[in-house]
């Protein structure tokens, strides 16, 4: 049993090393995440089989949260939940505003309002969008409409 676990661990490490050499960090992180889920799940099963329920339930919960993408701590993952970098200028130009709303130069006020309404309904924070996107859409409308 121990030999089998060691052989599987060695194969997994060789697989991770090969991916690391290809230089694709996204793929490496995905494989490492699934490897961690597998190790934690195996430990949880082992601890459950030996009737050590508290650590088994804890490790199963951590494995489940990694598998489903649930945040492990309230602040979220620093690499994924960081706010977008602020631009050097907080003033949006007319050309940028037109691009944000997906309009051509010379769009009428009604077209601007319609594009804003459509985009804000799709990207509103209450419907799964972000505060950043909603603020940019609103800023684009403010720039284009007097």
pLDDT digits (tens, 9 = 90+) for 2-12: 666 677 777 77
Domain coverage including residue 133: 94-144
Q: Clarify whether residues 7 and 62 are in a common domain.
A: yes
Per-chain mean pLDDT for the chain: 78
- The percent of the chain in helix, strand and coil, each rounded to the nearest 5, is 70, 0, 30
State residue 38's pLDDT score. 79
Neighbours of 12 (CB within 10 A): 16
User: Where does the pLDDT of residue 85 fall: very low under 50, low under 70, confident under 90, or very high at 90 and above?
Assistant: low
Q: 73 pLDDT exceeds 50? A: yes
**Residue 82 forms part of a structural domain:** no
pLDDT in tens, 25-35: 677 677 777 77
Q: Which pLDDT value is given to residue 88?
A: 45
pLDDT in tens, 128-141: 788 888 889 999 99
Last residue of a domain, one of 68, 86, 107: 68
Percent share of the chain, pLDDT over 90? 16
Q: Are 133 and 124 in contact (CB under 8 A)?
A: no
Whole-number Å distance between alpha carbons of 123 and 141: 14
Looking at the 3D structure of the chain, how many domains does it have? Answer: 2
Which residue, 89, 94, 104, is CA-closest to 140? 94
pLDDT per position as a tens digit, 94-131: 899 999 999 998 889 999 999 999 999 888 888 778 88
How far apart, in whole angstroms, are the C-alpha atoms of residue 138 and residue 131? 10
> What is d(CA 121, CA 28) in angstroms, rounded to the nearest whole number?
36
With beta carbons less than 8 A apart as the criterion, state whether 114 and 122 touch: no
Contact between 75 and 81 under an 8 Å Cβ cutoff? The reply is yes
pLDDT above 50: residue 65:
yes
Q: Of 51, 68, 85, which residue constitutes the final position of a domain?
A: 68
The DSSP H or E segment spanning 118 is: helix 109-123
* φ and ψ of 78, to 5 deg: -60, -30
Give me the pLDDT at residue 74, please: 56
């Amino acid at each position: 049993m121990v030999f089998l676990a060691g052989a599987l661990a060695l194969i997994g490490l060789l697989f991770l090393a090969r991916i690391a050499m290809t230089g694709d960090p996204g793929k490496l992180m995905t494989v490492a995440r699934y490897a961690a889920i597998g190790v934690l799940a195996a430990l949880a099963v082992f601890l459950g089989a030996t009737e050590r329920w508290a650590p088994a339930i804890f490790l199963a919960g951590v494995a489940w949260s990694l598998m489903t993408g649930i945040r492990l701590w309230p602040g979220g993952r620093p690499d994924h939940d960081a706010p977008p970098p602020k631009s050097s200028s907080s003033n949006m130009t007319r050309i940028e505003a037109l691009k944000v709303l997906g309009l051509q130069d010379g769009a009428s006020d009604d077209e601007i309002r319609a594009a804003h309404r459509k985009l804000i309904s799709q990207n509103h924070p209450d419907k799964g969008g972000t505060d950043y996107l909603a603020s940019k859409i609103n800023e684009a409308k403010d720039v284009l409409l007097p």
